[in-house]
Amino acid sequence: MSTYGFLHTAAVHVAAFTALLDEISPGDRAVHVVDESLLTDARRRGRVDDDLRRRITAGIAELTAEGAGPVVCTCSTIGATAEDIGHHTGVAVLRVDRPMARMAVTSGHRLAIVAALESTLGPTRALLLEEAAAAGRPVTVTDAPCPGAWTHFEAGDLDRYLAAVAAHVESLDGDFDVIVLAQASMAPVQRLVQPSALVLSSPRTAVTALVQGDLR
């Protein structure tokens, strides 16, 4: 049995990622750390500062202390920092959106980033461009924010949150080859829309990569 760690900034992700691991790799164990303040403070400060880096490091250390081998950071806003911390501490850390980004740049040239948080757009854009350069793929990346949806998420009304994101995705159809759902919480939107563009979300691809040991 393998043990995998998950660092979250929203408690709703615990059940979702546990269920995905149970489906993809039955018998393996998930351990979780949830710290909503990491995202709250990153948004408020407009960056991941030294204090946040220390706290992210502590969250990763807590997971490894519970027996986790590889760790997934499920927050796109702090994912790049979590990966960097992993590189410096010798812990295998995968940002949740990296496998999705790799798939996106090999699936089309016109990419749209759908995010309900402004703090998610920059890191996701940088990741897509990084993966496109690594793959030698010319892409155009367009920010397509959906800020009004986040109030529903914060209020705990996931149905209205997902409906708002789904309507936004449908409004983009025809203009892009790939629509990237930049936040893990948006994954169920894939089942709610049927656009001509390819719609990608991060949780399943991340857990699959984790189990397969594809942590590049």
What is the tens place of the pLDDT at every residue in 149-196? 999 999 999 999 999 999 999 999 889 999 999 999 999 999 999 889
**Would you tell me the crossing angle of helices 203-212 and 98-105 to the nearest 10 degrees?**
100
| Model confidence at 215: pLDDT above 80 | no
pTM exceeding the 0.85 threshold for the entire prediction = yes
Which amino acid, 73? C
- C-alpha angle 81-82-88 in degrees, rounded to nearest 5: 90
| Model confidence at 214: pLDDT above 90 | no
Terminal-residue alpha carbon distance, the chain: 22
List, in order, residues 6 or more apart from 150 with CB less than 8 Å away: 116, 117, 161
Other Cβ atoms closer than 10 A to 18:
16
Least Cα distance to 184 among 24, 25, 62, 10 occurs for: 10
Mean pLDDT, residues 20-38 taken together:
96
Tell me the pLDDT of the chain averaged across its residues. 95
Spatial distance between the Cα atoms of 198 and 80, rounded to a whole number of angstroms: 24
Least Cα distance to 69 among 6, 132, 143 occurs for: 6
pLDDT digit string (tens) for 116-152? 999 999 999 999 999 999 999 999 999 999 989 999 9
Could you give the residue range(s) of every CATH 3.40.50.1860 domain in the chain? 3-96+204-212, 98-202
Pick the CATH number of 3-96+204-212 from 3.40.50.720, 3.40.30.10, 3.40.50.1860, 3.40.50.800: 3.40.50.1860
DSSP β-bridge partners for residue 144: 114
- Give the model's pLDDT for residue 78: 96
**Would you tell me the crossing angle of helices 50-65 and 79-89 to the nearest 10 degrees?**
60
- Give the model's pLDDT for residue 143: 97
pLDDT digit string (tens) for 67-115? 998 999 999 999 999 999 999 999 999 999 999 999 999 999 999 999 9
**Would you tell me the crossing angle of helices 118-135 and 36-45 to the nearest 10 degrees?**
90
Judge whether 179 and 194 are in contact, CB under 8 Å.
no
Pick the CATH number of 98-202 from 3.90.79.10, 3.30.450.90, 3.40.50.1860, 3.40.47.10: 3.40.50.1860
Spatial distance between the Cα atoms of 144 and 138, rounded to a whole number of angstroms: 19
